[in-house]
């Protein structure tokens, strides 16, 4: 009489344990999926692919606002796929970057690369040679507020070489 209840309770417990293990495993997988799906919701669409005269790799611009009588700047969202970056360039009246997604790099001529992440703000001075873009392994998205001096807001220079880019990634 005593052995029957014992076997039964073992089997009941085994059932509970197996189901719990199954649930937990399923849980981790679902949660991992849910986290990556939620984190990938961008604020803005990617926008238009940008030309290789000004960008190396896959870069995109989504225009937000044109210059007008009150706003003496152009406003846009720029997306860089991993490895993509601007050419070296300057702004005659500076530019402000607001990082909204991913990881990137900002570098001024002759200075160490600055690694950027979501929430960083860069106040780029006028007439300083610099470039910005994604890291080699991460996408990068920033809002850009680009001020005008007269009709001009940028002067494009030469590409960032592979050696320069690789060195910047390592800094």
* Residues of this chain that bind a second copy (CB under 8 A): 4, 7-8, 11-20, 22-24, 26-27, 30-31, 34-35, 38-39, 41, 43-44, 64-65, 68, 70-72, 75, 93-94, 96, 98, 100, 118-119, 121, 123, 125-126, 143, 145, 147
CB 105 within 8 A of CB 80: no
Residues facing 116 on adjacent strands: 104
Alpha-carbon distance of 23 to 9, in angstroms, equals 21
- CB neighbours of 82 closer than 8 A, spacing ≥ 6? 134, 135, 136, 137, 138, 139
CB of 79 to a second copy, least distance (A): 13
CB nearer a second copy, residue 101 or residue 133: 101
CB of 6 to a second copy, least distance (A): 12
CB of 166 to a second copy, least distance (A): 29
CB nearer a second copy, residue 115 or residue 118: 118
DSSP string, 26-83: HHHHHHHHHHHHHHT--SS---EEPPTTTEESSEEEEEEE---SS--EEEEEEEE-TT
* Residue 150 φ/ψ, nearest 5 degrees: 65, -125
CB nearer a second copy, residue 44 or residue 169: 44
CB nearer a second copy, residue 2 or residue 70: 70
Angle value at C-alpha 170, between 166 and 171, nearest 5 degrees: 120
CB nearer a second copy, residue 72 or residue 162: 72
CB of 113 to a second copy, least distance (A): 22
Alpha-carbon distance of 139 to 127, in angstroms, equals 27
CB of 116 to a second copy, least distance (A): 13
């Amino acid at each position: 009489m005593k052995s029957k209840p014992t076997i039964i309770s073992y089997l009941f417990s085994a059932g509970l344990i197996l189901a719990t293990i199954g649930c937990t495993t399923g849980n981790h997988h679902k949660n991992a999926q849910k986290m990556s799906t939620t984190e990938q919701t961008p604020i803005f669409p990617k926008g238009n692919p940008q030309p290789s005269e000004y960008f190396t790799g896959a870069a995109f611009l989504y225009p937000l606002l044109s210059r007008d009588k009150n706003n003496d700047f152009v406003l846009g969202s720029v997306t860089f796929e991993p490895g993509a970056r601007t050419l070296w360039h300057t702004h005659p009246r500076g530019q402000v970057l607001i990082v909204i997604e991913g990881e990137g790099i900002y570098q001024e001529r002759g200075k160490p690369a600055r690694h950027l992440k979501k929430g960083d703000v860069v106040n780029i001075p006028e007439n300083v040679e610099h470039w910005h873009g994604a890291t080699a392994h991460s996408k990068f998205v920033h809002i850009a507020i680009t001020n005008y001096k007269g009709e001009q807001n940028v002067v494009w220079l030469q590409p960032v070489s592979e050696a320069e880019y690789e060195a910047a990634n390592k800094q």
